[in-house]
Amino acid sequence: MIVTTGQLSEVAYGGFAIGAYNINNAEQTMGLFQGCMDSQAPFIIQISKGARAYTDKRLLEAMIRAAAEIFPDAVFAVHLDHGDEETCYDCIDSGFFSSVMIDASHEEFEENIAITKRVVDRAHAVGISVEAELGVLGGVEEDVVGDNPCLTDPDEAVEFIDRSGCDSLAAAIGTSHGAYKFEGGQGIHFDILDDIKARKPGFPLVMHGSSSVPADEVARINAAGGKLVGAAGVDVKQYMPAAKRGVAKINIDTDGRLVWTRVHREHLTATPDEIDFRKPGKTFIAEYAKFIASRNELLGSAGQLEATRAHVTA
């Protein structure tokens, strides 16, 4: 069942967070659905502009439709991650997406509002939720480059929400994209979440750049020939404190890439005479499903599937 991120946020707000996971191919799609069914969790499928170009948007949509038939009990949103205005309109017009993110955070404040409001007006006309971003995250994710990180100002956040009409807001609170998130004394600024929540109670916030970059995954990748030096991520113990502060959606992408890289590096290293790519693919689906289920447990969304279905169908 495809629902909007707005519907999912209504169930999650203040109690837990919905996991938002990026996919690019069939193996990720199958692992994601399996992991969420194993943990009985609602979820958000995130498709980036890069993913739509890599696999082709038509093929990605077909894979998700097929997975929804294979796993008929799944409750999920289909969300465009970090879209520009043109891509947002393409996804809105596709009739498939239930949610889009317009990322105009690199623009000046007034221009960010203007762009976001245009997307909101177009999306709301057909019942689609809109996520926006204010502030600039550090790191690199595909064509999103945070050269000059800038934390979200709570005063501006309130004004932005009110004037743009967005349904959720990705706030820059100290996290960053990629596998190299924190240096020195950097960390999550929970005070920003507290401030926004106090001023806009009930309004869902989004935490980007939330992969934990597990040390054991990094170590296994490096043992199989990788060179990830200094990789670090978000402490998973910070997921629930963020959820209690109004974060209803937490994005996790890099960790999935680490699982993919680890499985394939280990397979290719251990079996240099093997050419059947389905073998590591099968292993990845199982490993990714296990990873997804573990993250849903930490986010508090595990076991929330039936309550979510009851809410969206009421």
Catalytic residues: 81
What is the 3-class SS of the chain, one letter each residue?
CECCHHHHHHHHCCCCCEEEEECCCHHHHHHHHHHHHHCCCCEEEEEEHHHHHHHHHHHHHHHHHHHHHHCCCCCEEEEEEEECHHHHHHHHHHCCCCEEEECCCCCCHHHHHHHHHHHHHHHHCCCCEEEEEECECEEEECCEEECCCECCCHHHHHHHHHHHCCCEEEECCCCECCCECCCCCCCCCHHHHHHHHHHCCCCCEEECCCCCCCHHHHHHHHHCCCCCCCCECCCHHHHHHHHHCCEEEEEECHHHHHHHHHHHHHHHHHCCCCCCCHHHHHHHHHHHHHHHHHHHHHHCCCCCHHHHHHHHHC
Which pair of tokens denotes residue 167? 């349904």
Nearest Cα neighbor of 194 from 5, 14, 21 is 14
Biggest alpha carbon–alpha carbon distance for the chain: 61
Cα Rg of the chain, angstroms: 19
- CA-wise closest residue to 214 among 236, 229, 241, 195: 236
**What is the rounded CA–CA span in Å between residue 247 and residue 238?**
11
Tokens standing for residue 299: 């986010």
